[in-house]
Structure 1
Amino acid sequence: MGNQCTGVDDFQGQQFAPNISVQDEVFVEGRVPIVGQNPSRFNDDDMITVYQSNNNKLNYGRNSLGQGYMTAMKYNLKDNISIQASSHTLMNQQNAALMITIKSNDILLINQRGQECVRQGVDLVCLIDHSGSMQGEKIKLVRKTLKQMLTFLQPCDRLCLIMFDCKVYRLTRLMRVTQENVQKFRVAISSLQARGGTDIGNGMKMALSILKHRKYKNPVSAIFLLSDGVDEGAEERVRDDLIQYNIRDSFTIKTFGFGRDCCPKIMSEIAHYKEGQFYFVPNLTNIDECFAEALGGLVSVVANHVQLSVQPMHSNKVQIKKAYGDKWTYDSWKGVFTLYQPHLLSGVRKDYIFEVADYKTSGKQEIRVLLQADPVEGGDKVTIEQIIELQNSDLSNEVLPNYYRVKGAECFEQARIYAEQGQYQASQQILNNINTEIKLQNFNDPNLQVVQTDLEMASNFCYPGQFENEGRHHMHQLHIVHMYQKSRGVQINQNQQGQVISLDCQYQNNLQKQYKDQTRQTKQNDPNYWNDC
């Protein structure tokens, strides 16, 4: 589990025939694939497929998004993204809560109206821990999960598999998921065996190198990191490598921690660097559903390099005192709060919360909201700007529930810090106080009810032993889930009344739910599902 690996250049894997050409690759059942490992040759990725709407034929070789990549996509950002602002005075305070709401129309509903929406291609790098602690059921479940993932990917997608223990080894190039290559991927997946230590840092270094040096680029890119172990200081090395590689293409990182032995701090921080998600998977038989949900998010991306700016029009009337979430930056000269996100998904709603000084003036109180994004199918950057007067709106009754959502998210973080210092009673008090405050408001909001259930669960974890076993893992995840309205994977919670509640659908879009439901249905219908490992 601990990092007993040496050498920052281990990811080069020179002992594994580094100069093997594409033509000389070997994929044989029962053996680890023989694939080139030289990082200077990580530009050996497959050519991508380009959809041409004028003749409906597939062509190959486009290497940039500036060439009208996949122009058949009909998701017009200006037509399908809406911006709203609402505010509500806070009880017993001189402040008000401001909510900026971004909604994107569901691509599935657009398809149902008869429009042609071609799914964009994904470049996915899967980084798989096969250290000794993964032996037994863990590695078997991972192998099955990866094979199940192949059923969702299409020939327009490309996949690279990397395994790591103390060393890092590229199992496959970044290859298109064609029928021919699926068999190669299955051979590579079947070769995964548990052994060695855990070197997350160098594994991530190779994954970043793959994205940096690829010759062609699909519109959507991501790294999936799967691990059950600890690699002390890995998050700092990954942060430094992200700066060093300076990859300008939009991509995200999603991390999957298996069981109690994974380090939630490392996994959550690595994901958060690129505005991704940390999935804590205590029940390993749910890993495939978490993977399916994450993949559903990738294939529903409609915009890259998304930047949201919020600015009061008249600072003497509207003064923003606080933005909730640690990803906002503030330009004091311009008075602008800015948030960057690598991707925007279709069919989602994001509610961003601010505290503003509640001045009771007779004049207008206006907010300038600016959203800039690159359409995933290519073309010029799209700018959506609105000047919104703060007044009662259709969303006014939703401001306070969302305000308490982010307040609760903050409390998960604060309580975790106290519990890590052994102050369990103080951590329980933080969680119980905010939960009591929410209950007194008598909200009838289903999402906020889930936050309350999570607060109860987290409080029950704030005891010696229980916190170390699972509590800190959940609280790392819940802070990000509720602060940024991110999907949570599969998680079954038990409230204080002993009722078992499934919380897996919160913040999902329809594609994520569809992928997860399909995986769940496949397991239920196939008694031999887990035998194909």
Structure 2
Amino acid sequence: MESKWRKAKGALGLCVFVPRTSDDSPRSLEAAGRFSDVSSPSSVSRNSDFRPLMPTTPIPSSSGLRRSKYGSGSLKRTCAICLATMTPGHGLAIFTAECSHSFHFQCIASNVKHGSQTCPVCRAKWKEVPFQVPSSDLNEKARINPLDWPQDDAWMTVLRRLPPPRPDSHRHIASSPLQAPEPSLFNDDDLLDIQPQLAERISSSSDDLDKNSNRTMELKTYPEVSAVSRLTSLDSFNVLIHLKAPVASSGQSIGRGQADMPATSLTSRAPVDLVTVLDVSGSMAGTKLALLKRAMGFVIQNLGPSDRLSVIAFSSTARRLFPLRLMTDAGRQQALQAVNSLISNGGTNIAAGLRKAAKVMEDRREKSPVGSIILLSDGQDTYTASAPIGSQSRPDYQSLLPSSVGNAGYKIPVHAFGFGTDHDAASMHSISETSGGTFSFIEAEGVIQDAFAQCIGGLLSVVVQELLVEMECVHPALHLCSVKSGSYPSHVINDARTGYIDVGDLYADEERDFLLSVNVPAVGESSDMTSLVKVRCVYKDPVTKERLTLVGDEVRIQRPQIAGQSVVSIEVDRQQNRLQAADAMAGARAAAEHGDLTGAVSILEGCRRALAETASARAGDRLCVALDAELREMRERMASRRVYETSGRAYVLSGLSSHSWQRATTRGDSTESTSLVQAYQTPTMVDMVTKSHSMLFGRPTPEPLIRRSRSIQVRPQPR
């Protein structure tokens, strides 16, 4: 005789796998109440005994991803949404879809609630989706539960057949009826002080930092030469300012999962507010979207419980899928569900995505010490569609970016990632340059997770904020001729006697080099030394909020009667080479944009020849070798108009972004030729990229990359 449970599931029309037992007692019914597997009725055949047979043939995957080397068995043991283990009989329902992929019912029901109607693994479209409704909302309880079989007091779990698609459903991200409307004000961010004993943790962290002598920045200055004759006057004499940020503290949770993170380390670094703006246009369908979801999963898993994340998706329009949430266990699971609900359709309106991100940043009730936006797109920006054909003007992205943070007026950087060979590299570079962020070129699809890993490896290690470098001439006859600071704003005031550079944030172990140019006057017979300039740095510790000042030694040069042969400082020569190479890249790009690829190649080759004659190149300096390799790679990507349009422009712009901000960017397909240009990569970036390697398709962890000092000499490569 059939049990009450089997009659109940028959009345509901659900196919629920319940192992047959010899005892259909009330105790066994209660145990069966938390069922272990749920399938769509349309995907399973039933015999007269209502016993489930083998599922129908699964729909082939449309993502193009290769099967994991661990086989399908590992996929069945792990929920693709929350990444937790699925074990029947542990009180968690397991949903098996028509395509044969299984998930925790709680996870997939929440995924559907966010608007997804396809399998997160193979992208197969489902005819029926799981969803949850409160039992109090079921008016016809007697019909739903006619036999009074055991149920959860809070929720009823059912299947819902999807309505036929609307004709215009492909036009908007928010077309799904299962998505809730967005609020008019994005002030629903998680509060920063909800963690227990947060004040005690901050106090303990501050005490630990006070005992750490490495939390102070390093400031060094180098004159171009050590001696200039007394009777000689120079109109342009270079002085190098070298800065190095403090190292990451020993308790810093860089690249560590939450599970092994001690409570005392949660505040040993500056918490981050991160908004990801993701392109889900039609061109992202298949493998691209699958890889983007995997990369976002890596980001989510490596954010700490003090960090907050918001997810925005854009195509023809934009929608906030996930508000600014703390990445606790619950927040992390919700973020993973929101990301896995992404579907691709429509056009590419980057402007709409940026406006939404700016609104999230501006409407938030509280602000974490570090704020940043990650923007990824693989297509041309439709925001520029109305521009005249052939026009070189770019849209005013400044008006789309979030307003400045705090009283110091520092911007929220947008780190832009151009994905593939058809993205709008000029617009993406303009956005990052305007906001103070970097532009990366992801040429190979499989590099996207490494690119994100390198970026968050830096964002999760900010140790210096609101850095201001001040310069002042000491000798009364001196004045500042120029300040070469790349994209960092610089100002010269007081009759060119003083100046300063706005640097902003620095990651742990990050270095910055700035070249000043001053005049050197002739002096009298009694002067053996001439003081040129003095430099100091003012910055804020993002953890302790303390304002710190670092004063460097005065830059002095000897003034002998007759100076011997001048030996140029290798440090100054190295930075002159970097600036010369950056100028050549900018000139070559300008020539290429005007159709003169021959002239562009000539500029690059001329720079290579000039660098080869410098002192640092003859000494085999690593940075000079890397610059030569980069210039050679750019020359090859300007071989034809087609090559330049598909990859050359993005590669050059990514290189310019890296050199102007002196910060690591992803370039091309990360081959050996491009990996040489990682002089700006910090140890925390290297650690995070190494961790990404260990998670990609189950590959073993490679040997950690060793970041060499810029002063180490290596053998130059043949040109």
**Coarse TM-score class (shorter-chain normalised):** 0.7 to 0.9
Q: State the Cα distance separating 1:479 from its structure 2 match.
A: 1.3
Q: State the Cα distance separating 1:233 from its structure 2 match.
A: 5.6
Q: State the Cα distance separating 1:387 from its structure 2 match.
A: 4.7
**1:338 aligned to 2:474?**
no
Q: 1:74 aligns with which of 194, 204, 209?
A: 209
**1:254 aligned to 2:415?**
yes
Render the CA deviation track for 1:32-57: whole Å, top value 9, x for unaligned: 354552242x11101125889xxxx3
Cα distance change on mapping 1:358 and 1:438 into 2, 3 Å:
farther
Q: How does 1:227-306 map to 2 (within 5 A)?
A: 227-231=377-381, 236-242=395-401, 245-248=403-406, 250=410, 251-306=412-467
Q: Which runs of 5+ in 2 are unaligned?
A: 1-107, 116-178, 227-233, 254-263, 385-393, 559-566, 701-719
SS in 1 for 2:509: coil
Q: State the Cα distance separating 1:384 from its structure 2 match.
A: 2.4
**1:193 aligned to 2:338?**
no
SS in 2 for 1:341: strand
Q: How does 1:364-513 map to 2 (within 5 A)?
A: 364-391=530-557, 396-441=569-614, 442-462=618-638, 463-489=640-666, 491=668, 502-503=675-676, 505-513=678-686
Cα distance change on mapping 1:69 and 1:43 into 2, 3 Å:
farther
CA contact (8 A) 2:531 2:556 kept: yes
Aligned to 1:159: 309
Looking at structure 2, the residues matched to 285 and 68 of structure 1 have their Cα atoms a distance apart, in angstroms, of 42
Cα distance change on mapping 1:364 and 1:524 into 2, 3 Å:
farther
Q: State the Cα distance separating 1:312 from its structure 2 match.
A: 2.2
TM superposition score normalised by structure 1:
0.82
Higher relative contact order (CA 8 A, sep 6+): 1
Render the CA deviation track for 1:180-222: whole Å, top value 9, x for unaligned: 1222111111111111111111211111111111112211110
Render the CA deviation track for 1:477-523: whole Å, top value 9, x for unaligned: 111212332112265577xxxx8563364311111110011101222
Q: Tell which deviates more after alignment, 395-404 or 464-473.
A: 395-404
Looking at structure 1, the residues matched to 628 and 553 of structure 2 have their Cα atoms a distance apart, in angstroms, of 34
Aligned to 1:43: 187
CA contact (8 A) 2:443 2:669 kept: no
CA contact (8 A) 1:486 1:508 kept: yes
Render the CA deviation track for 1:317-370: whole Å, top value 9, x for unaligned: 354335242433323435233322331111111111233345454442321323
Q: Tell which deviates more after alignment, 218-227 or 268-277.
A: 268-277
Aligned to 1:84: 220
**1:347 aligned to 2:509?**
yes
Cα distance change on mapping 1:377 and 1:403 into 2, 3 Å:
same
Q: Which runs of 5+ in 1 are unaligned?
A: 1-25, 528-533
Q: Tell which deviates more after alignment, 500-509 or 477-486.
A: 500-509
CA contact (8 A) 2:187 2:364 kept: yes
CA contact (8 A) 1:70 1:120 kept: no
Render the CA deviation track for 1:238-285: whole Å, top value 9, x for unaligned: 302347x44437532111110111111111121122321111100110
Looking at structure 2, the residues matched to 128 and 402 of structure 1 have their Cα atoms a distance apart, in angstroms, of 36
Q: 1:172 aligns with which of 299, 317, 322?
A: 322
SS in 1 for 2:110: coil
Looking at structure 2, the residues matched to 107 and 524 of structure 1 have their Cα atoms a distance apart, in angstroms, of 30
Q: Percent identity of the aligned residues?
A: 22
Structure with more of its chain in strand, by fraction = 1
Render the CA deviation track for 1:380-434: whole Å, top value 9, x for unaligned: 4323233522449x99321101111111011111110110001111111111111
Cα distance change on mapping 1:334 and 1:177 into 2, 3 Å:
farther
Looking at structure 1, the residues matched to 276 and 646 of structure 2 have their Cα atoms a distance apart, in angstroms, of 27
Render the CA deviation track for 1:438-486: whole Å, top value 9, x for unaligned: 1112142112211110011111222321111111111111112123321
Looking at structure 2, the residues matched to 32 and 341 of structure 1 have their Cα atoms a distance apart, in angstroms, of 40
Cα distance change on mapping 1:35 and 1:391 into 2, 3 Å:
farther
Cα distance change on mapping 1:424 and 1:480 into 2, 3 Å:
same
Looking at structure 2, the residues matched to 311 and 261 of structure 1 have their Cα atoms a distance apart, in angstroms, of 47
Q: Which residue identity does 1:81 align to in structure 2?
A: M
Looking at structure 1, the residues matched to 213 and 432 of structure 2 have their Cα atoms a distance apart, in angstroms, of 26
CA contact (8 A) 1:123 1:217 kept: yes
Q: Which residue identity does 2:182 align to in structure 1?
A: Q
